[in-house]
Amino acid sequence: MEIMEKLKLLKNNTANIISLLIVPNSLISFYFIFKEEVFLAFLFIIICFFLDTIDGYIARKMKIESSMGQAIDSFCDLIVYLMFPVFFIFNYLNFNLFVTFFICSIVLISGIIKLARFSKEGFVIINNEKYYRGLVVPFVLLTTAIFYILNINNFIYINILFPLAVILISILMVSNLKFKKISNFAWYALAILLLWMIY
């Protein structure tokens, strides 16, 4: 009986275990930022992204969604989509320390508000389709990756365009605009493309 209870406990926490695997992988990605191994840093943060999409899918399929799982997921989102980009920006897209400090503060505050609001409200359902209120936090990571690629390819005015883009995303995250949920496969394709371009 004890074995069955342990198996049931393991089953009920399968999604949470997958979510928590994000923590060591994200630490590895932070390590590679400091070691100036950009490709490896993005490789491990994309692994975190895959884990982030898988955990929710498993929780829904196995019908083991829980408030604890949602809380763990939000904390992991904070690490992957907000803290990683901020650390990366300070190391690789820091054109002016004051400006960098300002935009990173703004995007962190907006991202935290966005995550807290989504945790409380969930999706907005319109005509049986799922919408987010405000832009989703993965766009912070996406924007950081795109502008890094532009910067290493000597794209002009990055020092002006990047802060403006971060401020715009910050505003959109806390806005009341509705954004349709993008399929995971579209995100996967985009992640692989960006990783190839960084390589």
Confidence of residue 5 (pLDDT cuts 50, 70, 90): confident
Relative to beta strand 178-180, strand 129-133 is: antiparallel
What phi and psi, each to the nearest 5 degrees, are found at residue 184?
-60, -35
Q: In Å, how far are 89, 103, 104, 162 from 99, measured between CA atoms?
A: 11, 6, 8, 10
pLDDT tens per residue across span 133-147:
999 999 999 999 999
Q: 110 vs 70, which has greater pLDDT?
A: 110
Q: What is the pLDDT of residue 65?
A: 80
E strands present in 107-198 = 124-126, 129-133, 178-180
Question: Where do the structural domains in the chain lie, given as residue ranges?
Answer: 2-198
Percent of the chain scoring above 90 in pLDDT? 75
Digit-coded pLDDT (tens) for 157-171: 999 999 999 999 999
Q: Residue 144, class by beta-carbon neighbours within 10 Å (0-12 exposed, 13-18 middle, 19+ buried)?
A: buried
Which of 2-6, 38-42, 155-159 shows the lowest mean pLDDT across its residues? 2-6
Q: What is the pLDDT of residue 14?
A: 82
What is this structure's pTM? 0.92
- The span from the CA of 68 to the CA of 23, in Å, is 16
pLDDT of residue 4: 67
Residues 82, 137 contacting (CB under 8 angstroms): yes
The whole-number pLDDT of residue 99 equals 97
Residue position matching structure tokens 């009341």: 176
pLDDT-derived band at 8 (thresholds 50, 70, 90) equals low
Whether the pLDDT of residue 188 is over 90: the answer is: yes
Q: Are 104 and 170 in contact (CB under 8 A)?
A: no
Q: Per-residue DSSP letters for 142-167?
A: HHHHHHHHHHHTT-TTHHHHHHHHHH
Q: pLDDT tens across 73-103, in order?
A: 999 999 999 999 999 999 999 999 999 999 9
Indicate whether 52 pLDDT > 80.
yes
Task: Give pLDDT, residue 56.
Answer: 80
The architecture in CATH of the region 2-198 reads: Up-down Bundle (1.20)
CB burial readout 95-117, b (16+ within 10 A) else e: eeeeebeebbebbbebbbebbee
Name beta bridge partners: 131. 124, 180
Using CA atoms, how far apart are residues 33 and 94, in angstroms rounded to an integer?
A: 14
Which pLDDT score is estimated for 94?
A: 96
Q: What pLDDT does residue 10 have?
A: 65
State the average pLDDT for the chain.
92
